[in-house]
């Protein structure tokens, strides 16, 4: 037996659950309509809550650079700070 969409077979328990749900909703609707008619000053139910999006924190990734040597090692080797200029000779550098 197929469901309303024709996609999957519908089991007996699913059909019974749908019928019970419909009967329950009909009964609650009837009760609420009668209650509002008998109690005109009753406040209407509050609207359903609007789900608030929960921001997802980005996962922290530790970046380890392998292409540059650590600063301590550079200083240990006695390398001086160098800043290139236009007129520097590339052969000397």
Whole-number Å distance between alpha carbons of 26 and 38:
18
Chain-centroid distance, C-alpha 19: 34
Could you tell me if residue 57 is inside a domain? no
For residue 21, the surrounding DSSP H or E stretch is helix 12-38
What beta strand segments (E) does the chain contain?
A: none
Residue 22 has a pLDDT of: 92
Let me know if residue 13 belongs to a domain. Answer: yes
Q: What is the pTM of this model?
A: 0.33
Q: pLDDT tens digits for 55-73?
A: 887 777 777 666 666 666 6
Tell me: pLDDT of 1 over 50. no
- Domain count for the chain, please give it: 1
The pLDDT of residue 75? 67
For residue 33, tell me if it sits in a domain.
yes
Rounded to whole angstroms, the maximal C-alpha distance in the chain is 99
**For residue 10, how many other CB atoms are within 10 A of its CB?**
14
Query: Domain range for residue 20?
Result: 1-44
In this structure, is residue 69 part of a structural domain?
no
Q: Determine, yes or no, domain membership for 32.
A: yes
Position 26 pLDDT exceeds 90: yes
């Amino acid at each position: 037996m197929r469901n309303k969409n024709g996609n999957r077979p519908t089991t007996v328990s699913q059909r019974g659950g749908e019928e019970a749900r419909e009967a329950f909703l009909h009964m609650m609707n009837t009760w609420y309509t009668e209650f509002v008619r008998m109690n005109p000053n009753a406040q209407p139910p509050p609207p359903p809550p609007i789900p608030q999006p929960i921001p997802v924190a980005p996962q922290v990734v530790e970046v380890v650079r392998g292409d540059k040597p650590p600063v301590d090692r550079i200083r240990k080797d006695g390398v001086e700070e160098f800043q290139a200029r236009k007129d520097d000779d590339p052969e000397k550098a």
